[in-house]
Amino acid sequence: MSRLKIKQAIDQPDLVQSMNDPLAIIKNSLFYLELKMQDMDGKSKKHFGIIKQEINRLQRIISKLVNRKRY
């Protein structure tokens, strides 16, 4: 996708909300699963941590794109 098309997509207000909503749902579901699986093994905990890190990374990327759009 070209930079122009990406910028045009970001300029659509609903797009940012459309990206954030699924991430919030995934993050909440992950939190719930962690509560239910408190006795999980070390490997599972590691992968839960990786998922949380990547969700947070995507949220930061989206935030940076939105802030860049405002200026």
In this predicted structure, the answer to whether residue 66 has a pLDDT above a threshold of 60 is: yes
pLDDT value at position 56?
93
pLDDT value at position 65?
77
Longest dimension (CA), the chain: 48
How confident is residue 62, by pLDDT bands cut at 50, 70 and 90? Answer: confident
Phi, psi of 41 (to 5 degrees): -75, 170
pLDDT tens string 17-60: 777 888 899 999 999 998 988 888 989 989 999 999 999 999 89
- Number of continuous H segments (helices) and E segments (strands) in the chain: 3, 0
Kindly tell me the burial class for residue 51, based on how many C-beta atoms sit within 10 Å of its own C-beta (0-12, 13-18, 19 or more): middle
